[in-house]
Amino acid sequence: MENTNSRVLIVDDLSVNRMIMSSLLASRRVISDQAESGYKCLELCQKYDYDLIFLDHRMPDMDGIDTLTALHDIFKKKGKTIPVICHTTEEGKKNINLYKAAGFSDVLIKPVEPGKLSEIISRYLPQDDKTPPPEKVISSEEDAREELDKLPMCLKIVPRIDLVAGISNCGSAEDYVNALSVFYSSIMDKSADIATHLQKEDWAAFKLDVHSLKSMARLVGARDLGKMAADLEEWAGTGEYAKIRLDTPLLLFEYRRFDTLLSSLKDDEEIRSMLKESVEKKKEPEKVRKTDNSKSVLFVQSSQGIFTKGIEKNLTDKGYKVISVPDSPDLIINHRFDADIVIYFPEFHDDSHIGVTMSLLGEVCQDDSKVLILTGDSNDIEVAMRSRGSYRVSRCYPRPVEIRPFLDDMEYFSSLLTEHHREKAVYIVDDDENYLSIISGWLSPYVNLSCFKDARGLLDGLSAVIPDLILLDYEMPGMDGLELIKTLRQDPDTSTIPIIFLTGKNEKDQVYSVLQYRPDGYLLKTSSKETIIDSINRFFTESFFRMTL
């Protein structure tokens, strides 16, 4: 389930636990905030409304039970009922009934099993007009089936491959045919490499090869082949070489069958035409750019007066384009793309009117990476800051406003927005050339992407340009992802570069070993094109928002 409009609070005194839970939620497109103590949890819940809270039981100073008791008082005053999940260790299993008796809605055991987390999300996150209903998942599959109709008939009859799953992963029929072509073109070379490494008993190289095959097979929908590769990868890690010798011939037989099953990729004229168009697009990808409205202001107000006219004049004199609109939802939505800075002047109608306007502005500013500013009477600003959208507010300017500091702040926000809309430089390092080819096609329209096949290539690239983000694979020959992030974090020149792992490894041991070096995210290669792009965009958006506060 994807709940892009739900907001969750994670409360845990250990940052590693908060990061794991945040990454798991992010992979399900659920936005989360974090609190390191019971006191911080209460502070956030006083200010904001959450749909679900994960609360650690064992915390210093104020434990989970004390925090829960105080939370119930807050919920009572707000007239709300918010589910609170006890997030505790394995030994807490024997106390599940005790936790529920204490008032927790449910219990989630650490380390978190993704399936259990999905159950909790499905059970407790709201299904209202702001949250996509369950049918949305069916709609997504229906969209994939519509794209399926665009595939040539010769592909629709290929057995042992889930075309709908492959299209869902890749995002469109065109992207799927491109990924399938990459998969097909390497079958004989990769299968020969696997056979050679098996014969030489080079288990490290064998493990890397089947790991790469697992990722590619899952991406294109060859699920059975992906499962076989995953088993061999696991056995290579645990030293079960007898199983490997027994099952690898079957894997190679199934893998090489696709060389015949997918032969239409080189013979069918319609497919060749689709691939040619894809290649032409990759040569000069059309960059997805937002209009730079960093010097434009959307001024939302109930009515114009001396104060608001004075603000407008000072902004206009400073070179800003000011678009004034009444605080009507329809008008706000109609002008949402006209400016990147939003100023809201709340005036007393009633608390609910200000709350509705703030909720809308909060969502618009979050979705479109806008700066939200409040100005006006202190009492009205206080009402606005108690509403749901207040988490997006960067500054408040109660009147009388000191114009010089106000205009200085506007210049600062404008410069941040200009930087935010700059095309980002992203480095990706992965030894799998096939995956690099596919991910490059996905990301190139959105960022200035540079690809590297190993750690040495990346380090050489860093000597020339420091990127805005590094996407890092875990398993690579020579220096692997763990060693590389350790090296980068220890060097003052590279220690602050954001790093998101984009890997096929999701075992708990690997995740925990990586987290000590403070990665900025952890994505799986099995994630869909949409999920990967959305996660990267969200990373840059959240980084920008933190700078405005």
Look at the pTM and tell me if it is higher than 0.85: no
CATH 3.40.50.2300 for the 425-548 domain, yes or no: yes
**pLDDT value for 128:** 44
Please, what is the end-to-end C-alpha distance for the chain in angstroms? Answer: 31
| Sequential DSSP letters for 239-294 | T-HHHHHHHHHHHHHHHHHHHHHTTHHHH-HHHHHHHHHHHHHHHS---------T
Peptide bond into 400 cis (omega under 30): yes
pLDDT confidence of residue 450: 94
Query: E strands, 484-527, where?
Result: 499-503, 521-524
Class of the CATH domain delimited by 148-283? mainly alpha
pLDDT tens, 88-105?
776 555 556 656 666 788
Task: Choose among 27, 42, 34, 39: nearest CA to 12.
Answer: 34
pLDDT in tens, 21-62: 777 777 677 778 888 888 999 988 988 888 899 998 777 778
Return the CATH fold of 7-124.
Answer: Rossmann fold (3.40.50)
CB 267 within 8 A of CB 241: no
Domain residue spans of the chain: 7-124, 148-283, 296-421, 425-548
**Structural contact between residues 52 and 6, judged by C-beta atoms closer than 8 angstroms:** yes
pLDDT, tens digit, 9 for 90 and up, residues 472-520? 999 898 899 999 999 999 999 999 999 998 888 766 667 767 777 878 8
Distance of CA 515 to CAs 16, 17, 121, 512, Å?
Answer: 6, 9, 24, 5
Residues 175-199: pLDDT tens digits? 888 899 899 999 999 999 999 999 9
Better-scored residue on pLDDT, 457 or 131: 457
Domain 7-124 and domain 425-548 have a common topology: yes
Distance CA 417, CA 216 (A): 38
Residues 436-453: what's their mean pLDDT?
Answer: 92
CATH fold of the domain at 296-421: Rossmann fold (3.40.50)
Residue 532 has what DSSP assignment?
H
- Average pLDDT for 389-401: 89
- Using DSSP's 3-state secondary structure scheme, residue 450 falls into strand
